[in-house]
Structure 1
Amino acid sequence: LHKRPVPAEKVEAAIKNVVQRVLSLGVREIRTRQIGEMVMEELYKLDKVAYIRFASVYRSFKDVDDFQHVIAEVRRPRAKRGA
């Protein structure tokens, strides 16, 4: 969320949501992939540009088509998203 217009309170709330979800699983270990998906869900709610930035690194985008796919995903209504 660096240089994005998202209030610090919302960022803190998103972090708290991820931590609570992790703790609610009640397990000693969790796959980093699960945490990454939780972070992506929170970023999607907070800021679409930050979501796309994170997705590009997290999903290891290889070319422009990868960006176009996630941009199309962001533009679709939430109920119709596949991820």
Structure 2
Amino acid sequence: MRCPYCAHGETQVVETRESDEGGVVRRRRRCLKCEKRFTTYERAEVAMPAVVKKDGARVEFDPEKLRSSMMLALRKRPVGVEKIDAAIERIQEQLVAGGAREVPSTRVGELVMRELEKLDKVAYVRFASVYRSFEDVDEFSQLIRDI
């Protein structure tokens, strides 16, 4: 770690503290050259895989887009924001745990449907009806029977 005051490359860690949630480590450091102290913060950087669309385009994973899609399906449904946030977190964890650098958008859609099915059956049907682009009523009826 370089000193922000003199750019010297050698510093000494004087104190280390972990945040309450455990996601961030705070360190007080002292420059071995100019003796000034400064604070650094460390947090794990998790790289989300890129999403490959049906047309082959690659886009950055956007949790806000995921949230807006789920919120649209859950509109006027009795599901709290905490549960939605937890579902989004589970989807992100599954994508990261897969270890792939790219995932097809269909995989993301399937994960969303799985989470919505647990949260609210009506929201699941709403999302599935748009996501799967049903061609006729029989396909839609089969989905409802499967629930």
- Which of the five TM-score ranges fits, normalised by the shorter chain? 0.7 to 0.9
Instruction: Describe the SS at the equivalent of 1:49.
Output: helix
Measure how far apart 1:20 and its partner are: 0.4
Aligned length: 74
Is 2:82 aligned against 1:5?
no
Bigger CA radius of gyration: 2
| Bigger relative contact order (CA 8 A; separation at least 6) | 1
Deviation of 1:58 after TM superposition, in Å, equals 0.7
Of Structure 1 and Structure 2, the greater strand share is in 2
TM-superposed deviation, 1:43: 0.4
Q: Do residues 38 (structure 1) and 92 (structure 2) align? A: no
- Paired with 2:77 and 2:115, the residues of 1 have a C-alpha distance of 14
Instruction: Flag structure 1 segments of 5+ consecutive residues without an equivalent.
Output: 75-83
What is the DSSP-based 3-state SS (H/G/I as helix, E as strand, rest coil) of the residue aligned with 1:30? Answer: strand
Distance 1:35 1:20 in 2: 12
Q: Tell which deviates more after alignment, 3-12 or 57-66.
A: 57-66
Structure 1 segments of 4 or more deviating over 6 A?
none
